[in-house]
Structure 1
Amino acid sequence: MTSESPVRTCYQQALSYRRQDMAQKPRTFKFEGVTMTHYFTDNWEKVKNFKAKPDDVVIATYPKAGTTWMSEIVDQLFFGEIRRESSSPSIFDRVPFLEFCEDFQTESLLTSPRLIKTHLPVQLVPQSFWEQNCRMIYVARNPKDIMVSYYHFDRMNKIQPDPGAWEEYIDKFNTGQLVFGSWYDHVQGWWEKSRSYSRICYVFFEDMREDPAREISRLCSFLGLSPNETQKKEVLRKTGFEEMKKSMADALSNNDEFDESVSPFMRKGIVGDWKNHFTVAQNEAFNEEYRKKMKESDLKFKMEI
């Protein structure tokens, strides 16, 4: 696959479209009951009518739950040997973003299976993915670290709304006013769907950080892959934080969507960074809100490891 592939064209088209009004931070609005910006809804008819293939693999997350990390892991598991033998496109091209690609209907992805990422809540996922019985990997991350990472991402991302002050951001998070809506609804919606739809592999970011080799083996079992130990070690090496940070430098070199002088795209990737941002009072108040919103769910998160 060369840099002139249709996938690259699709990504560049999306970037070109977004550059047109990047000078001004977008406003949010409710779309199908979910907080969105026009960047994720202008293309909605194509997203809604997306034609899935039975072997498509979807990587779904709430923003800042480890999307790029999981994308790289899955791509390396399927295509690592190919990637090592040639100059490969960036991860944004190899695992394109469903909500951004205007040209997805041309079936421009050349790999089989196609790897596609999305931040959509489960109820907005295009129907064809369910009809085609596609495999889906959902990555969930604890809400405190999500909030910190998303806050810094909104600060440096020119097509995300202005995050405002940190204390205001906590309230926006709790009331579902961030782009892609309520984290609580998102993680619980996918969790409940995984009980009736067996081809969802529900993965926790904290488990991946705690024992990546174990979680990669679990993913291989889900995806029907049997890499040898040498191949698994290579995937672990290629998807380590520092290695990915280096590889992302090239991917972001011509991207004027992100201002890394404000905050790096790959910032820390750890569990427990929320302790450096929450005051004692903010943490206590958030814990109370969390208990209220999660009291009916058996979904459990590790706030530290």
Structure 2
Amino acid sequence: MDPTQTKSSVDNAAEERERLVSTLPIREGFWKPYVLYRGFWVSPQVAKSVMLLQDEFKPRADDIILAACPKSGTTWLKALAFTLVNRSRHAVAGDADGHPLLVNSPHDLVPFIEKPDRELYPVAELEALASPRLLATHMPFTLLPASISAVGSRVVYISREPKDVLVSLWHYLNSVSKDHFIKLEKAFELFSEGGSYFGPVWDHYLGYWKQSIAEPDRVLFLKYEEMMADPVKHVKTLAEFLGVPFTVDEVDAGAVEQVVDLCSFQKLKNLPVNSSGTSNLAGWMPMEKSSYFRNGTVGDWANHLTQEMAYKLDTIVQEKLKGSGLAF
């Protein structure tokens, strides 16, 4: 809360957000109803958080925003970006046993801007972070506070093959919300209609894709599958974009490969901090930390979706992305 605001003005603003959310279109969601806020389906709590952020969030020019649609590689991107930006302070080789990534979840090291309930977790906690801040979001580009673009904060976006996003999201929500189990067929129907969390997924992709073309020096668009196929190449690209390129000596010493290894899915998954215990990252219920590390492979959708389902979703995505230059 802005210290210049009175309790009355804060309460009035909260009531206005509540009123606005109550007027939004509503539909069935994966585990609870979603509202349509400026073209995207989100929970009522997230809609209010986004409204609050648009009023109160104060970006900095050296902020780095890591963005993704849910279940598209967010955890991996957080780990990579944190390791790259902080490698002068936290060595990846040699004394890497003391590296923060080995004893902290990537989600604890890189907080979500929207939380997802900023009415419970004040925006002020983001103000307390030292620069340069690494921040994450699931918000579509058009829902980001306009001030982020105005000050020139850099944005890294990671996308993923939509069929794998669907399957990963289905597994994840069923694992953390066992009282609201959703069948795959129903999840497929909702996803194909654009009714997934922060969906439609194709519009989420397009927002960042188009901005990366318009501002390539400020917005980097990555694909999960390409990164998995050649992580060394993409980690170098990411380091350059973040303003911390590898030196020749680092490359010769194998520093890039060491970053890739430290941040690998299997290594992170097996760490006690990620494999046991619970987290309340979602803000609405505790969940097993291991739920963030299920599979991570490319093409897992083939183990779950029928060929008919795959063809239908491919056709929808191709049509939605037609003419954009983006394809999966």
- Alpha-carbon distance, 1:79 to partner: 1.2
TM-score by length of 2: 0.76
Match of 1:247 among 271, 283, 292: 271
1:192-226 Cα offsets, whole Å, 9 max, x none, are 11122231011110011001000001111212213
Shift, 1:252, TM fit? 5.7
Cross-structure match for 1:95: 110
Pick from 224, 227, 231 the counterpart of residue 208 of structure 1.
227
Q: What's the counterpart of residue 39 of structure 2?
A: 33
Give 2:60's aligned residue.
53
* Match of residue 67, structure 1, among 74, 81, 84: 74
1:120 to 139, 142, 153: 139
CA shift for structure 1 position 106: 4.2
Q: How far apart, CA to CA, are the structure 1 residues paired with 2:68 and 2:181?
A: 20
Aligned partners of 1:248 and 1:60: how far apart in 2?
26
Amino acid at match of 1:58: I
* Distance in structure 2 (CA, Å) of the matches to 1:202 and 1:131: 19
Q: What corresponds to 2:237 in structure 1?
A: 218
Number of matched residues? 275
For structure 2, which runs of at least 5 residues remain unmatched after alignment?
1-30, 91-95
1:232 equivalent to 2:256? Answer: yes
* Higher mean C-alpha deviation, range 40-49 or range 249-258: 249-258
Please give the per-residue CA displacement for 1:250-298, whole angstroms capped at 9, x wherever unaligned.
486232646559x832111111101101112222222332332222321
Residue identity over aligned pairs, in percent, reads 28
User: Is this contact kept in 1: 2:105–2:273, CA < 8 A?
Assistant: no
Name the CA shift for 1:292/1:120 in 2 (closer, same or farther; >3 Å). same
Letter in 1 for 2:227: M
Q: Secondary structure at the match of 2:202?
A: helix
| Structure 1, unpaired ranges of 5+ | 1-24
Which protein has the larger Cα radius of gyration, Structure 1 or Structure 2?
2
The whole-number CA distance in structure 2 between the counterparts of 1:39 and 1:161 is 20
> What's the C-alpha RMSD, in Å, of the aligned pairs?
2.5
1:118 and 1:57, CA in 2 relative to 1: closer, same or farther beyond 3 A? same
Aligned residue type for 1:114: R
2:304 is the alignment partner of 1:277? yes
Alignment CA distance shift 1:161-1:64 (3 Å):
farther
**Matched residue, 1:196:** 214
Q: Is the 8 A contact 1:148 1:274 kept in 2?
A: yes
Distance in 1 of aligned mates of 2:104 and 2:35: 34
AA paired with 1:41? A
